[in-house]
């Protein structure tokens, strides 16, 4: 390959990274702005907006809601997703039905969040479920499940069935095979799916906006509503903290499972 082409390719890669990451970097720079408005370049360095963001009960309360909600949805959605993946991968059924089930269970990944939100609002209201926590939990379980199914299914499909047969011939019961061999082997995949699901739930605005009520709000929605009336760098500060949390989650997935394995399937 000619050196010019290599140079061109590297420049292109650099430009793409800059395009993807520059806004995030800008948010972080703005968040340490000493001035009263989110300006670029910043007017001096200060962490005062971090203090302001953390002192704002609208943010802290909704952040707690988002954390508890994401944890709850992940705790409920993960076993459901794993069970569904087992059903899809191993259930005795014609291959057409298997494909249909897989597509159906994974559809929340493709259907726009706003559509899911409206659909849930209509359905849950018709069913008489008006409690915001209940509605949010149900909605977020729906967000988490397909991520867990996706990683678990990929791992199950590449699972060597002779591992289970080996355990069986060594005297293990079905329950022991599941708890001592199958689930431990699938564990990294399950964890990766759960971690993804947690992040998706924590970041979600499109579905949640249809399910909250006046006293219960999630962090992304609190940020949106704050921005309608205020325009100060505390938004940038809270966003920077979200970036940090998301990055930590992504690093966690990379460490236990490998992002490529998840995204590449």
- Told to check if 175 binds another protein by CB under 8 A, we report no
- Told to check if 261 binds another protein by CB under 8 A, we report no
Of 41, 44, 96, 171, the residue at the interface with another protein (CB under 8 A) is: 171
Find the shortest distance in angstroms from Cβ 260 to another protein: 18
Q: List the Cα angle 51/55/60 in 5-degree steps.
A: 115
- Told to check if 24 binds another protein by CB under 8 A, we report no
- Residue 213 pairs with which residues in a beta bridge? 216
Of 51, 93, 107, 165, the residue at the interface with another protein (CB under 8 A) is: 165
Site mask for another protein (CB under 8 A), range 177-216, x = bound: ---xx--xx-x-----------------------------
- Told to check if 256 binds another protein by CB under 8 A, we report no
Find the shortest distance in angstroms from Cβ 185 to another protein: 6
Positions 74 through 133 that interact with another protein (CB under 8 A):
none
Cβ-Cβ contacts under 8 Å for 66 (sequence gap 6 or more): 201, 202, 218, 219, 220
Q: For 45, list phi and psi in degrees, rounded to 5.
A: -105, 135
Question: CA dist 190 to 8, 84, 99, 237, 257, Å?
Answer: 40, 12, 21, 32, 9
- Residue carrying the six token digits 């708890």: 179
Q: Which listed range, 38-46, 97-105, 170-178, 212-220, lies at the site for another protein (CB under 8 A)?
A: 170-178
Q: Which listed range, 43-51, 76-84, 176-184, 227-235, lies at the site for another protein (CB under 8 A)?
A: 176-184
Find the shortest distance in angstroms from Cβ 184 to another protein: 5
Q: Which listed range, 3-11, 171-179, 200-208, 234-242, lies at the site for another protein (CB under 8 A)?
A: 171-179
Closer by beta carbon to another protein, 55 or else 97? 97
Which stretches of the chain bind another protein, using CB under 8 A?
160, 162-163, 165-173, 176, 180-181, 184-185, 187
């Amino acid at each position: 390959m000619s050196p010019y082409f290599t140079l061109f390719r590297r420049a292109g890669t650099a430009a793409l990274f800059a395009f993807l990451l520059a806004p995030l970097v800008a948010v972080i720079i703005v968040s340490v702005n000493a001035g009263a408005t989110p300006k670029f370049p910043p007017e001096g360095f200060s962490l005062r907006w971090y203090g302001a963001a953390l002192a704002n009960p609208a943010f802290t309360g909704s952040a707690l809601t988002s954390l508890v909600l994401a944890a709850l949805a992940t705790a409920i959605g993960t076993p459901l997703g794993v069970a569904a993946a087992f059903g899809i991968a191993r259930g005795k059924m014609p291959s057409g039905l298997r494909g249909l089930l897989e597509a159906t269970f994974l559809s929340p990944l493709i259907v726009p969040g706003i559509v899911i939100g409206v659909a849930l609002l209509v359905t849950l209201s018709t069913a008489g479920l008006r409690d915001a926590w209940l509605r949010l939990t149900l909605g977020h379980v729906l967000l988490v499940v397909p991520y867990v199914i996706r990683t678990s299914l990929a791992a199950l499909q590449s699972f060597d069935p002779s591992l289970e047969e080996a355990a069986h011939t060594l005297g293990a019961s079905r329950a022991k095979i599941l708890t001592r061999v199958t689930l431990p082997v699938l564990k990294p995949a399950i964890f990766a799916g759960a971690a993804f699901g947690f992040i998706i739930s924590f970041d979600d605005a499109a579905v949640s906006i249809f399910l909250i009520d006046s006293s219960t709000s999630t962090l992304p929605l609190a940020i949106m509503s704050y921005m309608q009336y205020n325009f100060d760098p505390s938004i940038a500060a809270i966003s920077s903290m979200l970036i940090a949390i998301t990055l930590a989650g992504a690093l966690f997935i990379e460490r236990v499972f490998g992002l490529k394995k998840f995204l590449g399937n």
